[in-house]
Chains A and B, each alone.
Chain A
Amino acid sequence: MERSFAREVEMLRRGDGEYFEGEGILAITKALLQSGVSYVGGYQGAPVSHLMDVLTSDSKGLMSELGVHAEVCANEAAACAMLAASVNYPIRGAVTWKSTVGTNVASDALSNIASVGVKGGALIILGEDYGEGSSIIQERSHAFAMKCSVWLMDPRVDHPRIVELVEKAFELSEVSNSPVMMEFRIRACHVTGRFATKDNRKPRYSMNDPIPMPDNSLDRIALPPATYMQERMKVEKRFPAAIDFIRENRLNEIFEGDCDDVGIICQGGLYNSVIRGLQQLGLADPFGASRIPIYCMNVTYPMVPDEVVAFCAGKHSVAVVEEGFPDYLEQALNATLRKADLNTTVVGKGVFPKAGEYQSEVMIRGLAGFIEGSAPKRIDLAAIAAVIESIDSNKALAADLLGSPVPPRPPGFCTGCPERPVFSALKLAQQDPEIGKMHISADIGCHTFAALPPFNLGNTVTGYGLGLASSAGVKDSMKGHTISIMGDGGFWHNGLSTGITGAVFNKHDNLLIVMANGYSSATGQQQLPSSTAGGARPPDTVIPIESALKGVGVKWIRKQYTYQVGKMRTLIKEALTSPEKGLKVIIAEAECQIAKQRREKPVVAKALRSGKRVVRTRFGVDEDTCTGDHSCIRLSGCPSLSVKPNPDPLRKDPVARVLNSCVGCGLCGEVSDAAVLCPSFFKADIVQNPSVVDTLLHRIRTAVIGLFQGRGEKAPAEESGMPGSVPAGVGVAAE
């Protein structure tokens, strides 16, 4: 796991009269415990990973005291299926994943549970990965709520209110017999804040207090004719019950203001941004008192018709501040007002953008557009225009002073990443005329970065674990080779069943490379069924990928250590040119460098302190033989392999340079070897705490070599004047 949660676990134990201080997602976790959940499940993914991480690692003790069962599910479908426990029994549970990709995977289970309904409160925490920094397709979770008739909450970002709403969500679920989804945007999950804690609630039924008898009722099975009854229940009972509960418990909030001829209706999650925008326009104070009335929808589905009608009555215009497309809220509001025969003008995607995240600047421009268009009483429009004008002029001045746009900074593989060498090998393999350019069906994971510069390897990405399945239609229609990539995360998520068994069954004859770095790395190094965690995990609990492949009938399986670029290239060629028919799988193995460093750094630091001999390896580039063509960088892309302005007055192009962050993974040497690149690279093994033999040998060698180098060629003046050598071990002590 990427981090320790010891401090957070202590927070989770706090009770009446104490405060929690920390991240939003952990506040939500605490709220689950205060609500008396019996079980928690989920699948990791930004931004909700921490919920699962904290419950399944450092807080195991707390979980067993409370009797809460927490598990990391195989995928989101498995997580959602866990909610089945609340179908028959009055027990509360929560599951979590990243939306909308995770909700897509969970949909089968979600539809079924939504149809049969729940007795116990069932809550789905959605990490809404939308907008800046998102790694997935841009869609709304709202559509899932609508089609399944489950309720969608989008709480305003304020720790005490979020915690309160989580508790209310369970009640809402029980009152309306329907699962409830709660979406939190990335920033809301990572937001820090505090709230007054309550004692954790022991669940009525749990592993400590088991349910005495199984419940058996045909009404709880999604088979006709029960399904027809369940559909009617949704419309006739559950929907109205939900609306009544939302209204009676004031889950949505109205904030009054003096300019009440207009109003703003916003998703709860955008409330803070609306307030800040209004504040910048001079229309709100730091505590949220706004001159324009606001209706904050902490529940975005279903809409409560009488509440919105009451809010809009007497207003000539209202703005709907709703992120993403389609404009479900705007449409629903228009329909509701039409039915109530109200003439209030609804302004939404007319002044706000139809697509994209509503960041601060988008928000302030949209609000200004609404205010200028609707001209509320007692608001000075000139002052509003002046604020926008000053933002514009400042940006224009900046653009002018900078002269040219600042280049983007795409993400890439980490220093020492074990997946990068595989793409170096693939790039080299493609240079072989017998292989040529390939169609690469890529997958989700750190390895997706290969589609970006400098590799530009990857033609399609269709979903998690779908790398192999997505090659089925194209492979026979390509003149060249088609290969697929899958990570070990995707392999276990669903790649084994969806891709590999399908390919074996259908007698596919192509190559799959499984990137086995031992973790679900991009989400924070969670363990997988095949993780060995550097030997930390009991071997009998590990399910090797190779065994799984053999089990489903794959004949051609090769394991290859990723850093051996030349061998990997040869193996790829062997797979693609082999006369043997059938699916070929290369398991590209090497541990995630981040995880490895985290484990090894303290050990090395300790050895260094105790005076033990430690060899530190890193690479370097001779700046005077580097000609500045950067082909090494195009084949490596390592963050530690960088450039610097050429110190040679004759040369113009920057020279390559290895930064101190180099971990000595060896790729530089392998690439210059396999690609026959350039003699500028060297490997340096620095012997720290050298033994007497080391020192003696070093002295003799230096002396003899010195004789040949002669005295004439001393260190030239140009190279003195640099700061003296930095004490070794800086890299170790730094983090």
Chain B
Amino acid sequence: MTALPERPISMVVGALGGEGGGVLTAWIVRAAEICGYPIQSTSIPGVAQRTGATTYYIEIYPAKHGELDGRRPVMALYPAPGNMDIVVTSELMEAGRMLERGMVTPDRTTLVSSTHRVYSILEKSAMSDELFRADSLRNAAEKLAKRVVMFDMAKLAEERGTVLNAIVLGVIAGSGELPIPVENFETAIREAGVAVESNLRGFEAGLAFMKGELRAPAEEQERRSHPAKPSAENLLAEVASTFPADVQMIVAEGVKRLTDYQNAGYARLYLDRLAAVVAADRERGGEAEDWTLTRETARYLALMMAYEDIIRVADLKSRRSRMERVRRDVTAGSSEPVHVTEFLKPGFEEFTSVMPPWLGRPIMAWARTNDWARDFHFAMRVRTDTVFGFLRLWALAKMRFYRPKTFRYAEEQQVIEGWLDTVCKAAGRHYRLAVEIAELANLRKGYSDTHRRGVANFERVMREIAKPAARAEREPVWAAHAVASARTAALADPEGEALDKAMAELAEAPALAAE
């Protein structure tokens, strides 16, 4: 009798609920059964049924039942660190989890993972950017695994009109890591009898990738630079000749944004405003700091100047490129009409924002103190694919030329000047403090209540910490830290509880050190 294998082949599948990890496992089990190998699989669906992490565990003893003299291998129910031959994850962060748990080892583990992200609710619901940084993950995978197969299988599935688990099966079959002929996997798919055609398509794609006949889909470009309007060209040339190279990209984006938002004159104002910041940055040795102050101020100045009023929203929503993007987003076929409904609900803030200041200011002052007015909103559902619906937004967008005469414009410019002045003054005292105050502008985002809260938080931190610090009434190192922690706290929860707590802790400012 030939020597029997020393141990079963161990394989774990880390999937997300509802992704078809169970189906994938069933295919593999069936393919091994056809070979006559003892096989065992088990799973933990549990509460993780739909959206949480789920695991499937498979053991295959690669010798036929008949060769075992009636003996039965004892198979385990849990994946074990240091004991895995194949680790499959359907998503990038789950691959990280497997690495973390020690399931991937250089002596024997093949790691198969899709590189797309399915964000967890904690990452998604954060008020700012708390996405898991996967930069180090690929390097970790390369160092920890015997063999790594990683690419965006979700994108490939979408392109091929199939599902991810079928591609994974193709990859496993094509990897040669299991002693199972390719046709057994195909038989397993056919026998299961569900969506056979698209599953086989996915299986073939995975297989083709492993044979080198198919390239992985290109990673999506993260940042998209916007095209410039002709009227911005002179200003862009100016940016290229007068701004430090490190910040030109951001400043150019700002110029393009504001030309698009209003006109070249408004972008001119942007550059003029920035000039003072660059000067202050240069004076404080900004080069050694990678021009962080200029970059962050340029970023938030552009965003603050291009504030989202109803004119802007109408403008963006009535563009040709927008309709094309919608069709792409919802995967509409070229011959399929798409009806688009917008959910607009303007209130007093939106109405007064397009009034002249002499009219808007008193109305808004009243509306802020009146419960009814605060909650009053006029719900509109606009069909922007119809001529009439489109024209409503189009007409609103045309109010752009009148924008500089509006109440909201006047208010926003006042805030911008105050903020910019504080940033520049702070730069004279402490570099980091100025950068932190510049970044404070990130609190002013959202619409309606969210916007109202964000603005109130921004104003509170400006009033209580930033402005006094810029006026040299606070110790600057402490103030830089205080602004940063207040900003983090303001973004910790929407109710403002964390900010209240942080501000209470910061209330006791240390005495000014003798300068």
Contact = CB atoms under 8 A, between A and B. Distances in A.
Interface in B412-462: 442, 445-450, 454
B118 to A, nearest CB: 7
A625 B332 contact: no
Interface string A619-649: 0101111011111011001010111011111
Contact of B332 (A135, A273, A684): A684
B212 interface: no
Nearest to A629: B446
B136 A402 contact: yes
Given A408-B122, A411-B49, A658-B329, A734 B195 contact: yes
A686 B102 CA distance: 46
A727 B49 contact: no
Contacts, number: 418
Nearest to B391: A708
B370 interface: no
B225 A676 contact: no
B7 A279 contact: yes
Nearest to B320: A709
Contacts of B61: 286
Contacts of A675: 448-449
Contacts of A676: 345, 347, 377, 447-449
Contacts of B377: 676
A119 to B, nearest CB: 36
Contact of B385 (A135, A277, A681, A701): A701
B449 A726 contact: no
B5 interface: yes
Contacts of B77: 157, 185, 187-188, 191, 272-273
A573 to B, nearest CB: 12
Interface in B64-101: 68, 71-83, 93-94, 96-97, 99-101
Interface string A695-735: 10110010011101100011111110011011110100111
A410 B46 CA distance: 12
A407 B321 CA distance: 37
A207 interface: no
Contacts of B254: 650
Contacts of A733: 161, 195, 198
Contacts of A522: 47, 49
Given A411-B51, A718-B224, A192 B41 contact: yes
Interface in B308-367: 308, 310, 312-313, 316-345, 347
A690 interface: yes
Nearest to A694: B337
A645 B222 contact: yes
A398 B102 contact: yes
Nearest to B322: A622
Interface string B109-123: 000000000111111
B208 interface: no
A647 B222 contact: yes
B312 to A, nearest CB: 8
Contacts of B33: 21
B445 to A, nearest CB: 4
Interface string A173-199: 000000000000111101111000000
A286 B61 CA distance: 9
Given A399-B100, A651-B303, A677-B447, A728 B333 contact: yes
Contacts of A694: 337
B124 interface: yes
Nearest to B395: A708
A360 B76 contact: yes
A522 B376 CA distance: 40
A364 interface: yes
Contact of B227 (A402, A658, A717): A717
Interface string A405-429: 1111111111000000000000000
Nearest to B139: A401
Contacts of B140: 398, 401-402
A459 interface: no
Q: Give the interface centre of B127, B254, B318, B337 by most chain A CB atoms within 10 Å.
A: B337
Interface in A93-124: none
A713 B75 contact: no
A143 interface: no
B391 A677 contact: no
A673 interface: yes
A92 interface: no
B247 interface: no
A719 B124 contact: no
A629 B127 contact: yes
Contacts of B347: 676
Given A675-B449, A695-B337, A734-B163, A682 B96 contact: no
Contacts of B162: 734
Q: What size tier do the contact residues of chain B reach?
A: 35 or more
Interface string B278-309: 00000000000000000000010011000010
B329 A650 contact: no
Contact of B320 (A681, A685, A713): A713
Interface string A123-143: 000000100111100000000
A567 interface: no
B100 A402 contact: yes
A649 B340 contact: no
Given A186-B46, A629-B446, A701-B385, A706 B320 contact: yes
A687 B75 contact: no
Given A407-B122, A410-B52, A728-B332, A272 B446 contact: no
A678 B345 CA distance: 8
A135 B45 CA distance: 11
A725 B144 contact: no
B115 to A, nearest CB: 14
Contacts of B385: 698, 701, 705
B136 A190 contact: no
Contacts of B93: 406-407, 409
B336 A650 contact: no
A364 B320 contact: no
A678 B450 contact: yes
A390 B82 contact: yes
A719 to B, nearest CB: 6
A288 interface: yes
B128 interface: yes
Contacts of B80: 276-277, 280, 360-361, 364
Contacts of B394: 708
Nearest to B223: A649
Contacts of B345: 672-673, 676, 679
Given A409-B52, A414-B18, A727-B331, 9 more contacts: A134-B46, A187-B42, A286-B6, A390-B105, A402-B96, A402-B136, A411-B17, A629-B445, A676-B448
Interface of B: 4-8, 16-18, 20, 29, 33, 39-55, 57, 61, 68, 71-83, 93-94, 96-97, 99-102, 104-105, 118-129, 131-133, 136-137, 139-140, 143-144, 158-159, 161-163, 194-195, 198, 222-227, 249-250, 253-254, 257, 299, 302-303, 308, 310, 312-313, 316-345, 347, 377, 379, 384-387, 390-391, 394, 442, 445-450, 454, 494
23 contacts: A132-B44, A132-B46, A185-B77, A188-B42, A192-B40, A273-B76, A276-B74, A285-B6, A286-B74, A397-B144, A411-B50, A522-B49, A633-B121, A650-B250, A653-B129, A675-B448, A676-B345, A679-B343, A684-B329, A686-B338, A695-B335, A714-B321, A733-B161
Interface of A: 21, 46, 129, 132-135, 157-158, 160, 185-188, 190-193, 271-273, 275-277, 279-280, 285-288, 359-361, 363-364, 387, 390-391, 394-395, 397-399, 401-414, 452-454, 522, 618, 620, 622-625, 627-631, 633-634, 637, 639, 641-643, 645-654, 658, 660, 669, 672-673, 675-679, 681-688, 690, 694-695, 697-698, 701, 704-706, 708-709, 713-719, 722-723, 725-728, 730, 733-735
Query: Which 7 pairs show the lowest CB-CB distances between chains A and B?
Result: A133-B46, A411-B52, A360-B80, A401-B140, A698-B337, A276-B76, A133-B44
